[in-house]
Structures are given as C-alpha cells and as structure tokens.
Structure 1
C-alpha cells in the first residue's frame, strides 16, 4: 500500500501545483466556471496513472543464486512502520470528519423545516452559523437562525440560489471525494493547500453563476450578505466553511470586484497543457519502458526465509541445488512456483518450493506503477558447510544454459 501511495506522488503533486497556481493567478483570465471544472483533472490523472500495464515477462535468463544450509533463518519479516504511520493518520482524519458530520447531523435533526417562495424547503438550525448544503445522499439547505432577520428578501433569494447551484452541480459529492483523497494522501502538504483552493474555486464559481446578469444593486446586496455571514461565523464552525470562512470570503469579494474578461489564448493554452499532461500520463502507462532481462532478474527479496534442510539429506551428508521459476505479483508476493531443475532430483524440491512461497520482493515499478513480473529464476543451493563469508557470496550471480 505504501509503495502504491508513493508511486502517485509525482503525478499528483504536479497536478495539484498546476491547479493551485491556476486558481491563484488565472481565474480572471479563464473564468470561474472553467477554473472550478479543471479540478476534474485530479481524478482523471490518477486514473490515467493507474491504467493496467502489461506484465514484464522473461522466460529465462541469469539466475539469482542463494546458498542455504542447516543454519537459522537469514531474513525475517519486519513490520512496516511507514504503513502504520500512514494508516494511523488516515484513520484519524476519517474519524474526525465522520464524527463532525454525525454531530452536525444530530444537531440539525432537531431543527425545524421551513418553506419560502425562493425554495421548496430548507432547515433553520442553530447548529450552523453560515448557509450551507448538508448531506450526501439527500442533501438539504441549512440556514442559520439569523437568516430572516439579518438578510433582506433579495439577499435571501440569492443565498438560496447559491446553495441550489451547489446542489445542481453535485458539489456535495465532489467535496466528499476531496476528503477521501485527503485521507489517503494526508502526508503530502499539497493536498491540504489544494483542498482550500478547491473550496475557494467552488465558491467563486457559484458566486459568478448567481451574479450572472444581475444588476449592480443586486451585486452590492450580495456582497453585503457575504460580509454579514463572515461577521456571524465562529471559529468552530463546521465542515463546510462556504460562506463564513473569513479568508475565503475576502477572496470572493475581491473576485467580485474584478471585471472578468475571458482570455481565449490563455484558456486554450491551459486546456492544451492539461490535455497533453493527461494524455502523456496515460500513454506512459500503456507504452511502458523496456526493461532489460538482467535488470528484472536482479530483483532481490526484502524478506527471505532459508529452506528447511531435509533431515534425511543432512544425515546422508547430501548436498544439492534447485532452480525454480516463479512470478512476482504487483504486491511483491511469489506466485506460480515451478521446479525447473534439481540435483539430485526430488530431494530438495519441496523444501525449496515451501521456502520460496514465503519470500517477499519489492515490486518493480514501471511507468509509476508496480508491475507483475513473470519468469523469474532463482537457484537455491543446499550446502552442509554453514560457513559463509559474507552476504555477497550468498548473492553470487551465475548463468545457466537451459
């Protein structure tokens, strides 16, 4: 799992940096709507980066040789501390998000549902200090208790239109997906910065949709509504800092003051850059990079168990060798183990097979993805002399002709 997570970091980081800079510097040039839609690039690039690639298949070649005797196990599995740290962080973030969501759901459950001429229904709740769209499968409009007293009728209409725009675009689902990605890649600081940039882009895009074709008077009323929301917002708000988060509010007000004029050249260049990057990511997976036979067969186990020396062979002072062919899965386990050759025949075969089935390898990475390797050869030499000068002697490479 940790290997897969690390394999995503280069392409993910490049994508997030591009999007963060786009939100920061190009929103006015390409428009708020397109800026927000560009966040589709994150799942598209991750999918392209994880397209299935063909196996690395090598029927024969140099054999990795290991010498075993009647001694102890020469390698034991060790706990993956990095996996533990990642899992702990992911679980903590997920637990925090779920607990806050459930707490807010309980508070809202006891609130009253109201209806006005601007929406079919919405909930007024003291649990929130800013208007928001809450829920995953059946999202509802939630308004703070001061909604009617603090805002005029035109302001209420525009606020509800803003939240309905979120609902129409399915932003509640995109926000849930963003939190899942944050839980997976929490160790990358760019994911935290990107989450804030995503929410800012989301709000600015909805603002632009609401104010499209609105009069200057309506725009002023809308801006005042944003300021009032910021004034009522508490530090411990909720998981949806849409209207109330003050830094986001300042960004939105700044964007509203600017006259957006789409620059077709910059827009075209941005879309072209995204298309080229995504296409190259996918092609890199499909085409792959040629791997030389000697490079693949140099794969070394990260966890190796010494075969059990057969008691009868040891009693008879019998030595021998077994050559095995096997596959390395994308997770590093050994599969499809076959006996290629053995001397003497049938003496050490089962012991060698049983030991190899427990070995673990670091998966070979090709095009950013862990690859399945087939046709790997290994030779296990059974020697009664347990005096081995160094690990280098154990890992001596020899070539065999089949």
Structure 2
C-alpha cells in the first residue's frame, strides 16, 4: 500500500492545486456549492486510476532476473526503515486525532437542551457553554450541539437558521466526508498539498452550506444569520482538528463576505469547469491505460515492492555465488503465492533465502492468479561475477 500511495502523489497534487486555485479565484463565478461538487473529481480519479491499474495484465512468458549482493542488504534495510517510519507516523497521527476528538467531546460537556423551541427539531439538540458556534459532532451517531448563549437568547428565527445549517451538513453526510478526508490526509501526511487541499475542502463545505440555507431566505433572515455568525466569531473558544472551521474567526469573515456577494454563478464558467473535470479524469485514466500497454509490451509483471534476500553468511565466507530459478503466482491483490524452486546452482545453498524473500514481494494487481511466473535470483559477491543462465531469459536487474 505504501508504494501505491507514493505513486499517486504527482497527479493528485496537480489536481488539488487546481481545486485550491478554483476555490480561491473562482468562487464568485462558480458558487461554493458548485465548487464543493467539483471535489467529487478526487475520489472519482482515485477509482478510475485503481480500475485501470487492475485491468493492466502482464505477459507471463518472460523470466525476470534479480541480482542479490551482500552490499545491497544495507540499502534495502534503509528503505524498509523508511516504510516503518511512515507507518509509525500514520499510527501516531491517527491515535492523536482519535484522542483529540474524544477529549474535545468530553470538554464541551454537551447536554440535551430543555428549551421547547429547540427541542421540537427533528433531531435531538444539545447545548454547551464551551463552544461558540453550532456544531454537528460525531461520525457514527451525530448530534447537533448549540452554544448555550444562543439557546438562552431565545430567538426562534435565529435558532431555526442555525439548526437548518447543521441539518444541511447532516443531509449531505459532511461529517462522514470530513472523516474520510482527514483519514486521507493522515495517510499522505508527508505531502503539504494534501493538507492545503483538506483545508480548502472544509472552507468550501461551510460556504456551500450557507448558500443552501440562504437560497430562498428573506433579507431579514439573512441579516439574522449574519449577526449570529458575527457573534459566534467574537466568542471563539475550543478548537479541534476535526472541527477546525466551527467558530474560526477568519472562516466566519469569509462566510459573511460570501453572503454579501452570493450569486447563482455564470453558466459558461460552470460548463467549462465540468469539461475540465471530465478532461482530468480522462487524462488520468488514459495515462494509466498507457502504462498498462507499456507493461504488455515489456512482457513483465511489475513489482512494486521487493524484499531483499539475505546473502547466506556461509556462502559469503566461502566465496560462493549462484542462482535460483523460482516459479510463483501473483494474486489479484498483487501478493505472491505458491513459490517453488525450479532449479538452483549450487543446489540448496540459496534456496531457502530466495523463497523467503520472494514470498514477501508485492506486484501490481494481477487478473490471472492461476498463471505461473518465473524469476531467477542471482546471488553474486560482486557484479563482476559471471553466472550461467539456468534457463532462457531476459536479464532485468534491479539496478
């Protein structure tokens, strides 16, 4: 999975930069709701990329070779250490976000409101003295939490607008979208553009929600809505990464500005944006399809991760080099199965290490798990050592 994540960064970064620029400079021309919809291009592109990758099939008729030397083991260990470090950071971030979320919910101390005008809502409404802005909290069992000052203010029209805003989030499943987006950010924590895209998505999400709430509202209702946001911004209190834009002063100012300049967007700009999104998906799919065709031409299944075999100490001490030909199958998820030794020279010296390493290799997803492949591992004390071919093959080294 680590190799797959790294492989997505180039095109994903370009797509995120485009969406951030659109959010920054085309908000008036397109509207926040339309731009929020454009973010569907990201999961669609990931799916398209994965489908094309799964459909690319390599020809199994070629024997690959891989050279193993004692000097390679140190560099391979460094590569493995980087992957271990990556997953360690992911684990720490996931744990940190989970603990922060749990702590945030405990600290706000939300209690079911007893105010009649609020409790008549279709979803139970809670209140808290620790927050400054209405929130939709939770992912599995979400709940709406209002600031206590907003409840005691007892303005039915203002409360109705604030609750409607959170209901829009709930209907669109924004809480689930935010959890999934945050998960992707954590998996790709090393790419700053992923974080930039996440915050752009959250901003657009809030602006789009405002547009939906105020779509058919009167001037008086818009004024009440704007006043409530000003008061929320002036009382900004607790923050959490998962709820980073609830009550944020800069976000509130941007929302107020967007309310003043709200429009339906230019139809030409929207059409061009849709065409651009479709073109991006087509380009990504075509590029990956092209990679699949190239793979067919080279007639080789593509390895995305190799575990370096250890050079046996006894063989190194006795200055022994040799080769092992292995037969194996590639599962649909790219893992290696049914590894057997076809031929080795000298016999039994390198077999065990060759099998152990190959069983841990990872290939691109393969559609024919019953097909058998061959690989020859050449164990050399130096690259100057010449080893005989144990079978007819094409020499493809790891260097």
Same fold (TM over 0.5): yes
Does 76-85 or 318-327 show the bigger shift?
A: 318-327
For residue 355 of structure 2, what is the aligned residue in structure 1? 357
Q: What is the aligned counterpart of 1:289 among 276, 283, 293? A: 293
**Cα-to-partner distance string for 1:35-89 (whole Å, 9 max, x where unaligned):** 112222222212222221333223235x637699xxx897476262322332232
- The separation in 1 between residues aligned to 2:88 and 2:322, in whole angstroms, is 47
Deviation at 1:211, TM superposition (A): 1.0
8 Å contact 2:325–2:390 — kept in the other structure?
A: no
For residue 276 of structure 2, what is the aligned residue in structure 1? 273
Deviation at 1:329, TM superposition (A): 7.3
- The separation in 2 between residues aligned to 1:243 and 1:65, in whole angstroms, is 55
For residue 124 of structure 1, what is the aligned residue in structure 2? 127
Deviation at 1:253, TM superposition (A): 1.2
- The separation in 2 between residues aligned to 1:185 and 1:64, in whole angstroms, is 33
Deviation at 1:101, TM superposition (A): 1.8
- 5 Å-filtered alignment, 1:139-218, equals 139-150=142-153, 152-218=155-221
For residue 36 of structure 2, what is the aligned residue in structure 1? 36
For residue 264 of structure 1, what is the aligned residue in structure 2? 267
For residue 64 of structure 1, what is the aligned residue in structure 2? 65
- The separation in 2 between residues aligned to 1:351 and 1:73, in whole angstroms, is 19
Q: Which has the larger radius of gyration?
A: 1
- Judged with a 3 Å threshold, the aligned counterparts in structure 2 of structure 1 residues 395 and 33 are, in CA distance, closer, same or farther, namely farther
TM-score, L = length of structure 2: 0.79
The DSSP-based 3-state class of the residue aligned with 1:133 is strand
8 Å contact 1:133–1:166 — kept in the other structure?
A: yes
The DSSP-based 3-state class of the residue aligned with 2:227 is helix
Deviation at 1:113, TM superposition (A): 2.9
For residue 12 of structure 2, what is the aligned residue in structure 1? 12
- Judged with a 3 Å threshold, the aligned counterparts in structure 2 of structure 1 residues 215 and 55 are, in CA distance, closer, same or farther, namely same
Deviation at 1:2, TM superposition (A): 2.7
- 5 Å-filtered alignment, 1:234-253, equals 234=237, 236=239, 239-253=242-256
List gaps (5 residues or longer) in structure 1.
382-387
Count of residue correspondences: 378
- The separation in 1 between residues aligned to 2:248 and 2:322, in whole angstroms, is 73
- The separation in 1 between residues aligned to 2:261 and 2:304, in whole angstroms, is 58
- As a proportion of its length, which structure holds more helix? 2
8 Å contact 1:337–1:353 — kept in the other structure?
A: no
8 Å contact 2:137–2:143 — kept in the other structure?
A: yes
8 Å contact 1:323–1:378 — kept in the other structure?
A: yes
Deviation at 1:174, TM superposition (A): 0.8
- Judged with a 3 Å threshold, the aligned counterparts in structure 2 of structure 1 residues 3 and 396 are, in CA distance, closer, same or farther, namely farther
**Cα-to-partner distance string for 1:179-200 (whole Å, 9 max, x where unaligned):** 1111111111112111211111
